[in-house]
Structure 1
Amino acid sequence: MEEKLIAPCGMNCSLCVSYQSQKYDLKKQGLNRKYCPGCIPRDENCTHMGDQCEQLKNGSVRFCYECETFPCKRLKTLDKRYRTKYHMSMIENLKSIEKNGMDSFLKTEAEKWACSQCSKPICCHNGLCLKCNFEILRQNKKYRWNEE
């Protein structure tokens, strides 16, 4: 995992279905998914927060935890959705980065999200390793975390 793939909101873009779809070029495998190289690599600051946050728009903070209003209402709403649907917390990610540093966070993330078969990161949006479990996603494009 790479630091540049950690968005200001705490999203680990390497776990995102749009990032992994691009990484594994799923369109060539017959699954039409949006591609994204990650927020920071595409100079967007943050897909989730950038359009509503002046601090991120003007580049005065790298991570939301650097803001005096952390966590803001928008981040709390986003975090609740991701905790409920996708088994991850952006606020907890940011607190971990602030407390333990980026290297520790990246190491923990790599272990936490590793596929049991190939050790590549699983996708937070569906719980699948898109390298090992692609057929499951091909058969059910709305697949999410063992839910039928």
Structure 2
Amino acid sequence: MEENLIAPCGMNCSLCVAYQMKKYDLKKQGFNRKYCPGCIPRGENCTHMGDSCELLKNGQVRFCYECRDFPCKRLKGLDKRYRTKYHMSMIENLKALQKNGMAAFLKSETKRWACPKCGEPICCHNGLCLQCDLETLRKNKRYRWNEEER
């Protein structure tokens, strides 16, 4: 995992389905999904928060935890959705970054999200490894996490 794939809102873009679809170029395998290189590599401040936060929009902060209003109402809403649907918390990510630093956060994320079969990051949006579990996704394009997982 790379530092430039951690978005200001705490999203780990390397776990995103749009990033992984691009990384593995899965359109060639019949998946018609949007590709994304991540917020920072794309030159955006944050897909989720950048349009509503002046500090992010103007590049005045790198991460939301640098703001005096952290966590703001919008980030709390985003965090709730991601905790409920996708088994990740942007606020927890940001607190871990703030407390332990980037290197420790990346090490922890690499371990937490590793596919047990191949070691590549699984997708936070569906819980699948897009290297090992493509058949599951092919059979159910809207697949989202088994309840027993994570």
TM-score norm. by structure 1 comes to: 0.98
Give every structure 1 segment of 4 or more consecutive aligned residues whose post-TM-superposition deviation is greater than 3 Å: none
Distance, in Å, in 2 between the alignment partners of 1:99 and 1:64 is 14
Q: What is the CA distance between 1:54 and its match in structure 2?
A: 0.1
Amino acid across the alignment from 1:37: P
Q: Deviations over 1:37-73 (max 9, x none)?
A: 0000001110000000000010000000000000000
Q: Deviations over 1:82-140 (max 9, x none)?
A: 00000000000000000000000000000000000000000000000000001111111
Look up the match of 1:75.
Answer: 75
Look up the match of 1:31.
Answer: 31
Q: How does 1:6-21 map to 2 (within 5 A)?
A: 6-21=6-21
Query: Mind listing any 5+ residue stretches in structure 1 that lack a counterpart?
Result: none
Secondary structure of 1:41's aligned partner:
helix
Secondary structure of 1:40's aligned partner:
helix
**Percent same amino acid at aligned positions?**
79
Distance, in Å, in 2 between the alignment partners of 1:63 and 1:27 is 32
Distance, in Å, in 2 between the alignment partners of 1:38 and 1:134 is 22
TM-score norm. by structure 2 comes to: 0.97
Q: What is the CA distance between 1:146 and its match in structure 2?
A: 1.8
Distance, in Å, in 2 between the alignment partners of 1:30 and 1:146 is 24
Secondary structure of 1:94's aligned partner:
helix
Distance, in Å, in 2 between the alignment partners of 1:141 and 1:4 is 29
Secondary structure of 1:18's aligned partner:
helix
Distance, in Å, in 2 between the alignment partners of 1:78 and 1:103 is 25
Look up the match of 2:88.
Answer: 88
Q: How does 1:39-118 map to 2 (within 5 A)?
A: 39-118=39-118
Distance, in Å, in 2 between the alignment partners of 1:109 and 1:50 is 23
Distance, in Å, in 2 between the alignment partners of 1:54 and 1:138 is 40
Q: What is the CA distance between 1:141 and its match in structure 2?
A: 0.6
Distance, in Å, in 2 between the alignment partners of 1:80 and 1:8 is 17
Q: Deviations over 1:7-34 (max 9, x none)?
A: 0000000000000000011100001010
Two-structure CA RMSD over aligned residues (Å): 0.6
